[in-house]
A and B are shown apart, each in its own frame.
Chain A
Amino acid sequence: MSGVNDFAFRIGTVNGTGSSSANGLLMQAIFRMGIPVTGKNIFPSNIQGLPTWYEIRVSGDGYAARPSALDLVVALNPATYAQDMAAVCPGGYLLYDSSWPMDPDLVREDITILEVPFGQMCVETFDGDRDRTLMRNIVYAGTLAALLGFDMDVVAGMLDEKFSRKKRLLDANQTAIQLGYDYAQRHFSCPLPFHLRQLDRTGGHILMDGNSAAALGAVYAGATVGAWYPITPATSLMEMFTAFCHEFRTDPVTGENRFAILQAEDELSAAGIVIGAGWAGARSFTNTSGPGISLMQEFIGLAYYTEIPSVFFDIQRCGPSTGMPTRTQQCDLLMLAYASHGDTKHPVLYPANPAECFEMSVAAFDLAERFQTPVFVASDLDMAMNDWMIPRLTWDDDFRPDRGKVLDREALDALPRFSRYLDVDGDGIAARTLPGVGGKGAYFVRGSGHDKHAGYTEDADAYREVVDRLKRKIDGAAAVVPAPVFDLQDEAGIGLVTIGSCDAAVREAIDLLRAQGLRLDMMRIRGFPFSDEVAEFLETHEMLLVIEQNRDAQLRSLLTIELGIPRDRMTSVLDYGGLPLTAQFVVDAVARVATEVPA
């Protein structure tokens, strides 16, 4: 199966030893050779000393899902030798650091084992523990460069770029790369049967993670207040927002900032700050993960009921409770749709990759202000923290934000009376006013029962009038949240329904299944509340498979609750072990059920 520009390899190291820069170097070099590539960091919830892996998939055809099989495993952590040996696909290769001996009982006959004394070479070449530990990463990168046929000019160029101002580091890195490269050339037949060959399929593309892209979206959308509490895997979103803001929004002369970023004491406070700022007219947001959303639920209900724009990025990770904080899942779908107590429902956007993280970040701020309500972007650890190959991000300079219905002083003066929650236009959206504007716009925001004039009420009819309008308002968002994307064949009886970052694996699986002669349609849902198109797809397919990454089939439940599609009409394909979905998982699942349906 594997061959030129079509293979995957994995590097197992100890976390906190500096391997990520070497892995990044390898990824980027492949990308610069014009070959589509993806990397998945499979890391522990720990700072130093535990096993960590990095998987790199090379796919000339551009498939970006986690690889279904590993052709080469690099074992640099004796603690995981057994695991790493077992991970190699039959006929594949294991490369390990022979400075630490391999238990002969572990050795497999069906694979090729390559030994390189990386540790020993570093002890002989470099001084001091720190350099020896760090440089071992670059030495293995050099060995991989030889084994996999990297273009050494590209690699050398990247080292020059990275260390242009640090001569000592540049020299050390060059020495280390060469050391690993030469050793492989002397001892092995290079390159291996599967290897790289220059291609031209990465032009117009970049390698970016979803948190950076979402942060950039927030900058471009004009968000000015960010409040947060650190949590994996959401942290880097605000860190990147901070970096971009300092680059683009700090006055170089006065040092004045056109943004406010507040690290709150907890997620509750972060939500409060976002809502306070949203009420005062700023585009504001927070970034968190499932545990943070749990803590913010009280405030989310307040913002829903008092109609305050606010944007919440939920970078989903494995729950429940602390769960597996460094593993990916789509386990907050139900929680986000109806977050908080009482009758609530919220617009939710489901990006599938970093490019959509950028687009939907911008869209979320528009929706929040247009509908005056909390809007969620349901990202996940896989797309948020891993580098994905995506088309270069572009921007339309004619874009103007939709600030929604906000009455200024002049508009207020023209009104006989301002009623905050009065539906004048019949779309369920009442005009709001901002504090500090003056005139007749002052009103009292209250989480307690209120009538259309924002006055306190305990009257059944006055209460119902407001909550019924809220329902109409949110239902209206179904038509404007991002539309589903379809991949349709003629008269396919099987419909695959999926969401978020499952996309890459599902699309690859479809290619494989269609090649086997199956007729399949696909719909990827991108927004909640569901639009009519979603219902139509479900109603027109005889067999439906809903593919998602959680245990309890949350997307399927939402489809049943919202659209009345019977549960038994939809077969769930569920992967929830915390690793990104593979195409093989989907192929196997579809094959199991599709045998019942004529192709």
Chain B
Amino acid sequence: MSSIAKPPVFHPSARTNALGLRLRDYEGGMSTLCAGCGHDSVTAALIQAAWELSISPEIAAKMSGIGCSAKTTAYFMKQSHGFNSVHGRMPSVTTGAAAANRQLVCIGISGDGDSLSIGLGQMCHAVRRNVNMLYVLENNGVYGLTKGQFSASADIGSTSRKGVPNQMAPIDPVLLALSLGATFVARSFSGDKQQLVPILKAGITHRGLALVDVISPCVTFNNHEGSTKSYAHTRTHEVEAVATDFVPLKHAIDIAPSNGAVIDVSMHDGSLLRLRPATAGYDPTDRAAAYAHVRACQARGEIATGLLFVDEGSSQEMCDELKLPAEPLHDLPFERLCPGSRALDELMERYR
């Protein structure tokens, strides 16, 4: 995707993370998306999350398909490898890369056009396999690069820029992921960085596939009155079910609990998620309850956000299921892969 190089300018007082890197070290090329595009806010949140987590740029793999969302991978972590694949196929390419090298931190960026139409099957199966990846779905309800056609996530009655209402039922990636057994399901809003950054950090840390549906308005084609994916509509209809605090490994837990009950989730790497349900009784570890909540919000015309469901304890990611070694497959010495002449000779006896 197109991008413009950014000059590396650092303020001398810029803070560094555990790797000695500054926030700007996690930036990428200059965005060529429209001014005000929700995706650029997602990019900023990703930069923040990766910097705060001190992700080593060399082990990150930025994966995308085709569309406006796919451009995002060019705008963060320029020191990382990126793979801009084909439309709707980011999940399979990431699956292959994650199997080949389980040390990679796979960050997949997709959109509603990319993931909910042509790529719907691939998204579903990546969820079923529980590929160890962050799966960000930048959701704006339209096809931007082809100038404003409805996507499969457009709500019934939501109108196009020319005022034509959408008639077909939307595909909700959150409900879909919950029904497919996803072990980490969240929804956020590009305009709510405070909510989004901890969710992204939790998603990257999660062992398995973390689906994060981000309502990310398209300023050019879907930000008008009548759209249910506009900034204004999302701001006024967003209902946060759970607030997330991310407590990194070895940090003292110094977050004050809110009025509601607090649910702590220990991550595989030793960090902690402190989840604060907005409504008493909401349990983000209860899949059926999460599903019912999203449905109920939908019926009221509200958008349920927050880390809606997480199952860290029993989550087995794909490489666990495949019983793969810790090192990348290309690092295995040839002698450990090739059985050699003697084994072949013995094998030949079976074919007589």
Contacts and interface: CB of A to CB of B under 8 A. Distances in A.
Do A and B make up one complex? yes
Interface of A: 28, 31-32, 206-208, 216, 219-222, 224-225, 227, 248-250, 255-262, 264-266, 268-284, 298-299, 302, 392-397, 399-401, 433-439, 441-448, 456
Interface stretch (B33-41, B76-84, B164-172, B235-243): B76-84
A281 B84 contact: no
10 contacts: A219-B337, A220-B338, A256-B325, A260-B319, A272-B122, A274-B96, A276-B93, A280-B104, A395-B340, A435-B101
A400 B345 CA distance: 19
A265 B129 CA distance: 11
Interface of B: 1-3, 56-59, 61, 73-74, 78-86, 89, 91-101, 103-104, 121-122, 124-125, 129, 319, 322-325, 328-330, 332, 334, 336-341, 343-345, 347-348, 351-352
B84 A262 contact: no
A490 B84 CA distance: 57
A261 B95 CA distance: 11
Contacts of B345: 392, 394
Given A31-B352, A436-B328, A257 B322 contact: yes
A396 B344 CA distance: 10
A225 B100 contact: yes
B58 A437 contact: yes
3 pairs of A and B residues whose beta carbons are closest in the complex: A276-B96, A272-B92, A438-B58
Contacts of A281: 100-101, 328-330
A397 B99 contact: no
Given A281-B330, A439-B58, 11 more contacts: A224-B337, A257-B324, A260-B329, A268-B92, A271-B92, A276-B100, A277-B99, A279-B83, A281-B100, A302-B85, A456-B1
B96 A278 contact: yes
A298 B56 CA distance: 32
Given A222-B338, A395-B341, A446-B1, A280 B74 contact: no
Contacts of A31: 352
A219 B339 contact: yes
Given A258-B332, A276-B95, A280-B104, A444 B84 contact: yes
A456 B348 contact: no
A465 to B, nearest CB: 19
A436 B94 CA distance: 14
B104 to A, nearest CB: 6
A294 to B, nearest CB: 15
B96 A272 contact: yes
A271 B122 CA distance: 12
B92 A276 contact: yes
A268 B2 CA distance: 26
B110 to A, nearest CB: 13
**Most chain B beta carbons < 10 A, residue from A276, A283, A400, A439:** A276
A299 B90 CA distance: 11
A10 to B, nearest CB: 24
Contacts of B56: 438
Contacts of B101: 280-282, 434-436
Nearest to A457: B2
Contacts of B344: 216, 220, 393-395
A225 B129 CA distance: 16
A280 B97 contact: yes
Contact of B351 (A208, A225, A259): A208
A448 B325 contact: no
A387 to B, nearest CB: 9
A287 to B, nearest CB: 15
A276 B97 contact: yes
B100 A284 contact: yes
Contact of B324 (A208, A221, A256, A445): A256
**Most chain A beta carbons < 10 A, residue from B3, B85, B91:** B85
A441 B82 CA distance: 11
B329 A224 contact: yes
A248 B2 CA distance: 46
A62 to B, nearest CB: 17
A31 B352 CA distance: 8
**Most chain A beta carbons < 10 A, residue from B59, B97, B325:** B97
A280 B86 contact: no
A279 B340 CA distance: 27
Contacts of B328: 280-282, 436
Contact of B100 (A216, A224, A261): A224
Given A277-B97, A447-B84, A265 B329 contact: no
A274 B85 CA distance: 13
**Most chain A beta carbons < 10 A, residue from B89, B93, B124, B322:** B93
B84 to A, nearest CB: 4
Contacts of A437: 58
A448 B64 CA distance: 13
Contacts of B83: 276, 279, 444-445
A255 B103 CA distance: 20
A399 to B, nearest CB: 8
B85 A258 contact: no
**Most chain B beta carbons < 10 A, residue from A224, A274, A399:** A224
Nearest to B93: A276
B79 to A, nearest CB: 5
A444 B341 CA distance: 41
Nearest to A31: B352
A397 B345 CA distance: 12
A184 B80 CA distance: 75
A278 B93 CA distance: 10
Nearest to B344: A395
Contacts of B324: 256-257, 260
A249 B337 contact: yes
Given A256-B324, A435-B61, A456-B3, A299 B86 contact: yes
Contacts of A278: 96, 100
Contacts of B80: 435, 442
Contacts of A264: 92, 125
A393 B85 CA distance: 39
A439 B56 CA distance: 11
B85 A272 contact: yes
A283 B345 CA distance: 24
